[in-house]
Structure 1
Amino acid sequence: MKRYFSHMVTTLLAGACLVAASCSKSDEGPKIPEPNFPDAVSQSVEAGGTYTLNIEPNQDWEISVPTATYQWFWIQDGSQKVSSKIGSAGKAQIVIGISEQEEFDQNRVCEVTLKMGSQSKVILTLTRGTLERSLSIRTCVIDADGEFTYNPDSETSGLSYLYQTDPATNIGLLWPEGRMGFMMPVLVEGNFNWAVNKMPAWVTSRVTVGNAGERVELLLMGNAPAYPLDGDEDKLVLIDTDNHEKSFEIGITIPACRDIFKISDFETVSKFNAKAEYYNTKTSSWVPGSAMGSIMGIDGSKIYVFSEIKQQYGEPYLSGDAEDIAWITVTEEPWDATSEGGVVQTRKVTIGTAENPGDARKGVVVALPASEAAKITGPDDIIDQDVREQYKQYIVTTVEQEASPGSIQAADPEGMAEVFAEFKKLSKMEWPMEGSWANIPDGYKLTYTKDYSWEESYLTFSREYTDYTVYGFDGPYDEPLAKENCWITVEKTAKGVIIKMDPSKNTKPGSEGENEASIVFSDAAGNFAVIYCVYDPDAQIGGGDENYEVKFASSGVSGAALEAITADNYQQIAAQYGFDEGDFRESLGMNIVLYALIYTQAAPANAELEVTSTQNIMVMPWGLEWLTYEPLSSTRLLISMTKPGATDPAYGMVQLLKGEDIKCIIYCKPTF
């Protein structure tokens, strides 16, 4: 019985254990696997892009980026930017967005965390690196004339100038022709906001800042009050306006200005009439006033005035004595000694004359730069018979003043020239008054070369004569000629006084047959004028060939060259420009003055010519259309050239005549 009970107890206990075990398994449910996190990855990325991450979690998951870096990194959920995203076990694709905002000085790092159950792990580390700063400075293109090149497409491009292709390694300031100082346009482009932080005292710019991605023109201009006399080199420094510790620098230089010196706007010859009126070449008229121009340089430049002194026996010479130069007046704008005056200044200068009561006169104005003026002890250092050769480059202008017309004038000088006659006032040196004529105020010369020369040779008298006396070849030392049947006759007409000469009636010619006589005019106060009359068919009206001259009327000529052709250089000029050497040789043999005028551009600047006379002009060959001329005055000429046609001669000639004779030929050739 006891053994049976024990067995039953054992059986019950075993059953209870089975039941207990069975209940325990039912309560736990299915077992959850361990999370399968992927291996961690580190990756560098660029601004504005995305990074795609493929995962295959074995549990429900959540992926996130830190809120601290959400400005630069986020999870792209469709069109939404989120900081976290959840999903179920299985394959998934996660897209990480990266901000476009680039930064220069700080890396941005994002740790992407994957969480499953109670566990999490950084599975991706993204690093967006810093942006490298870049700055380009390009200088302006300089043309063949040394000038800044303007942009023909400025309205579209927004840029005033054209710039070099390659960035500059140094900026050199220049002072081009016609500009007011040292300068250099530069184009600045950078990928950061910048500003000019430092520049030398001798340079300035109105624009000093720029934004990232912009093209900014800086016109770097010399600061005139701070120009270094001997030049300088320094640095131009630009900084990042968001980080002043980051800077860029480029060398900048300025040339020496000690020897800058320029004379501007004066004519080569400044002409004045006896009333001290200035001849304006632009309007071809006499106007009250003075010749005006400017002189540019540093302090210490000096102006010297000289007057030509004529001698009865000997060549004329220059004098700087006060009493000799008193008729020339020069005024110079004073030097500006204030802080804004500038190391180099351009000052206005005017040159005028007093009224001329006597013979024609001539002077020279010379301006020396400070470096040369410092060597001069007095005016005589600059001249001997003429301006010394080393100082001729500093001649401001030659001043020429006409003689006082006196009491008699030609009514129409050009009309007289057409009938081959000439009337001119004689200076005391040309025909000194002697004997009983010593105190006669005015002397003149009247020349006829044709028997009809008297026809347009009217003379006007400002002092009315009441009588006249005719003298023969020996003048004051001869007995007066009888007026009846005299070979010289004087007639008053409505147009003026006409003097006729008939050599066939001359019974007392000179010892060599010269037909010469003198007429003395008088009024109640006495003798007031003498006209020396000459009939000479071979006379050179207006002067001989050796006096014929052609030159540019003003300085600053560009696009044209003028060369005198002589026996010494005619072969070289013919070979250089393609002229016919034989033409030169033949013309020179005929004592014709020759010049070569070369145009390198269609409309040269300041190419007007000063010639001895524009009385008669013609173009050869006949019918040449590309070569024309325009007389601007009796001594001023403008020649125009266009490109010759395929069948046209390559060069042409402008012939200048006196009477019927060719006195000068200007050989003209365009090379543009």
Structure 2
Amino acid sequence: MKRHYLHLVMSLLAGACLAAASCSDSDEDTKLPSPNFPEAVSATIEAGGTYTLEIEPNQNWEVSVPTATAAWFWIQDETQKVWTLRGSAGASRIVIGVAELDEFDDTRVCEVTLKMGGQSKVIATITRGTLERGFSLRTCKLDQYGDFEYGDSETGLTYSYNEGEAESIDLTWPEGRTDFSMPILVEANYDWAINQLPEWVSTPSVTVGKPGTKVEIRIQGNPSAYPLDGAQDKLVFIDKNNLDAKVEIPVTIPSCRDIFDVTLDKELKFNAAAEIYNSMNGDWSPGTARGSVKGIRGARIYVIAEVTDRWGNTGLSGDEADTKWVIVEESAWDEELVIMDRGFTVGTEVNQGDARTARIIVLPASMAVSDPNELFDYDIKEEYQPYVFATLTQQASPGPIQAANPEGMAEIGTLFEKLPSTHWSLRELEVDDAYKLTYTKAWSNDPEATLTFERDFTGYKCYDADCQPLSDEQNWLSVRRVEGGAIIDMDREDEGYIVFYDAEGNIAAVNCLYDPNADIGGTDIGFAYPEYVTGATLEEITSGEYYEQYAEYGAPIYHLTYEGETTNAVMNVPTYSSFMAQGDAESWLTAESYGPTQIYVNMDSQTAAEGVMFLYGANWNVVMVIICTLNI
């Protein structure tokens, strides 16, 4: 039994050895080959791109990318983003995805690792390309007048900009503007901000921009820090995500020492009551003339008066005693400004004497003088002539006799004015006040020529041009009383004097002149704005067919011609009350009134045409004849 058991055990051991030998021979027959890793590659891929790896492992495999770079790289498994991908032996395609995130400064790198057969190897190094910063700055176009060109509905921009990128920003001060400035258009592919600007540039209302957005910015000078002699500095733009990434654009500002501009009417008229004449309305009203002077501190306003000595010689004076009747008031200087557009007013005191005249001179700081009398010799010195910005006249004190209707007098060819107190006739005729009454037409003694008297006269005496009494046979002057005053009649073309008196003595003398060729002033006929007129001409007619046809009206005759499209043809004309086209011309010839001394004639015809427009005074007397021709 014991021997049988031993035999069984030995048989089992032998079987086990055979089995072991047989199993060992099978493992040798199925041993795996060495892993066939591909050659490593390197590639740079732009943001948002992909890179494809073609592999053919000979074993089961695993491809992975680091999770540390997961924000920028991944493995694209059909529609899924993964960072580890497994597969079996055979050809496979691995797609590496790259994020679209815009980065300008950091280079992102990813290593693609392949594992198989217990080994691993980096088979690809993928670099994500950085984005190049794009920055564009363009400055505004300037028109032919040096002003900024505006944009249009197509661009949707306020201004029109130059095509090329600006190398610098040059501030300018166009006429009519209020400061140094330059509109710019900025566009970049990153979040940007203005980080630095000169002290003489004001902080713009917009200082930041988003990628791909066009931003308009008006770069303006800082009025409290304008450099007198000009300057150059820089405007610095930064990437909001990288303060070290800068774009520096030079910016310049011109010298402001020579900036100087004055606005003031060239002619200022005041009556004796210190009222100013409004040429648009044709009337007098309380108030002053308003002006402004733009420049650096130190600009000065001077009044130079015309004065007459006891012998009647006329000269100039800047002395306060001679100029104090002109009242100039200036706005206070703003201490915070380098350049100021400072307002001022010009008025007068009430005049108790003769008519008077002064000139208003405004000088920039660089030309200012301490003594106004340095500005002239016998006349204003040549170098100061361009700075005479206005001539101011004030009517004489009316005294005891006045014109009841000065505007109406002009319509009938009559002028009434006061003579200066130095006129020789005052001494000869023993009067304190003397006047001159000029008639130019047969109807100049119409009711508009009525004179009013502060002291009612009881009689009058007539004299010739040398102040010698006229006999009844020689006398050609007479006075007729009318409601509210009196009218002087002149029977012939001549010159003489009438002295009015009452129980207290002589009241005043009137120098009477009847001369059809006398210049009685009034409105200068012509275009109101000749420099802006297009397509129109205006010529005075003094002879020829038209003159012979209309001379009987005793009014100025002008020929107005329109050639096609006409602009800015408003005319200055004699004082009128109404207008009317003659005959058939009424259908196409009309006019628009721009006040008592201005008119615009409309010629509305589809074909060439010619007609006549009459301007009438208050008494329906013709004050102007306008021959109107339309050439098409």
> Taking structure 1 as reference, are residues 540 and 558 closer, same or farther at Cα in structure 2, changes over 3 Å only?
closer
What secondary structure sits across from 2:177 in the alignment?
coil
Match of 1:256 in 2: 255
Match of 1:94 in 2: 94
2:277 maps to 1:279: yes
Match of 2:405 in 1: 412
Q: Displacement, 1:463?
A: 1.6
1:456 aligned partner, one-letter code? P
Match of 1:142 in 2: 142
Q: Distance in 2 between matches of 1:201 and 1:16?
A: 100
2:384 aligned partner, one-letter code? Y
2:497 aligned partner, one-letter code? S
Task: Report if aligned partners of 1:656, 1:665 keep a CA contact under 8 Å in 2.
Answer: no
Counting only pairs closer than 5 Å after superposition, residues 255-654 of structure 1 correspond to structure 2 as 255-264=254-263, 266-310=264-308, 316-336=314-334, 338=335, 340=336, 342-373=337-368, 376=369, 378-428=371-421, 432-435=425-428, 437-447=429-439, 449-450=441-442, 452-473=443-464, 476-478=467-469, 481=472, 487-494=476-483, 496-503=485-492, 515-536=494-515, 538-540=516-518, 542=520, 560=532, 630=593, 632-634=595-597, 637=598
What secondary structure sits across from 1:393 in the alignment?
helix
Q: Kindly report the root-mean-square deviation, in angstroms, between the aligned alpha carbons of the 2 structures.
A: 4.6
Moved more, 72-81 or 163-172: 72-81
Task: Report if aligned partners of 1:548, 1:663 keep a CA contact under 8 Å in 2.
Answer: no
> Taking structure 1 as reference, are residues 263 and 137 closer, same or farther at Cα in structure 2, changes over 3 Å only?
same
Q: Displacement, 1:598?
A: 12
Task: Report if aligned partners of 2:608, 2:631 keep a CA contact under 8 Å in 1.
Answer: no
2:441 aligned partner, one-letter code? T
1:230-275 deviations in Å (ceiling 9; x for gaps): 11112222222222222111111110111111102x1111111111
Task: Report if aligned partners of 2:103, 2:130 keep a CA contact under 8 Å in 1.
Answer: yes
> Taking structure 1 as reference, are residues 407 and 390 closer, same or farther at Cα in structure 2, changes over 3 Å only?
same
What secondary structure sits across from 1:141 in the alignment?
coil
> Taking structure 1 as reference, are residues 475 and 124 closer, same or farther at Cα in structure 2, changes over 3 Å only?
same
Match of 2:552 in 1: none
Moved more, 286-295 or 15-24: 15-24
Task: Report if aligned partners of 1:52, 1:93 keep a CA contact under 8 Å in 2.
Answer: yes
1:370-405 deviations in Å (ceiling 9; x for gaps): 1111xx363233223332222122123111112233
What secondary structure sits across from 1:305 in the alignment?
strand
What secondary structure sits across from 1:203 in the alignment?
coil
> Taking structure 1 as reference, are residues 669 and 223 closer, same or farther at Cα in structure 2, changes over 3 Å only?
farther
Q: Distance in 2 between matches of 1:581 and 1:419?
A: 23
Q: Displacement, 1:87?
A: 2.0
What secondary structure sits across from 1:38 in the alignment?
coil
> Taking structure 1 as reference, are residues 502 and 462 closer, same or farther at Cα in structure 2, changes over 3 Å only?
closer
1:524-566 deviations in Å (ceiling 9; x for gaps): 4432222333444x343515xxx9857998xxx896279xxxx
* Structure 1 residue corresponding to 2:175, chosen from 160, 177, 193: 177
Q: Displacement, 1:418?
A: 4.5
Task: Report if aligned partners of 1:308, 1:318 keep a CA contact under 8 Å in 2.
Answer: yes
Counting only pairs closer than 5 Å after superposition, residues 198-237 of structure 1 correspond to structure 2 as 198-206=196-204, 207-237=206-236
1:473 aligned partner, one-letter code? D
* Structure 1 residue corresponding to 2:188, chosen from 185, 190, 196: 190
Give the aligned length.
Answer: 607
Structure 1: give runs of 5+ residues left out of the alignment.
1-12, 504-513, 563-576
Task: Report if aligned partners of 2:415, 2:520 keep a CA contact under 8 Å in 1.
Answer: yes
Match of 1:10 in 2: none
Structure 2: give runs of 5+ residues left out of the alignment.
1-12, 546-555
> Taking structure 1 as reference, are residues 271 and 350 closer, same or farther at Cα in structure 2, changes over 3 Å only?
same
Match of 1:7 in 2: none
Q: Distance in 2 between matches of 1:294 and 1:596?
A: 37
Match of 2:239 in 1: 240
What secondary structure sits across from 1:477 in the alignment?
coil
Match of 2:129 in 1: 129
2:15 maps to 1:37: no
TM-score by structure 2 length? Answer: 0.81
Q: Percent identity?
A: 43
1:74 aligned partner, one-letter code? W
What secondary structure sits across from 1:224 in the alignment?
coil
> Taking structure 1 as reference, are residues 585 and 455 closer, same or farther at Cα in structure 2, changes over 3 Å only?
closer
What secondary structure sits across from 1:160 in the alignment?
coil
Task: Report if aligned partners of 1:260, 1:298 keep a CA contact under 8 Å in 2.
Answer: yes
Q: Distance in 2 between matches of 1:667 and 1:367?
A: 44
Task: Report if aligned partners of 2:147, 2:175 keep a CA contact under 8 Å in 1.
Answer: yes
What secondary structure sits across from 1:25 in the alignment?
helix
1:447 aligned partner, one-letter code? Y
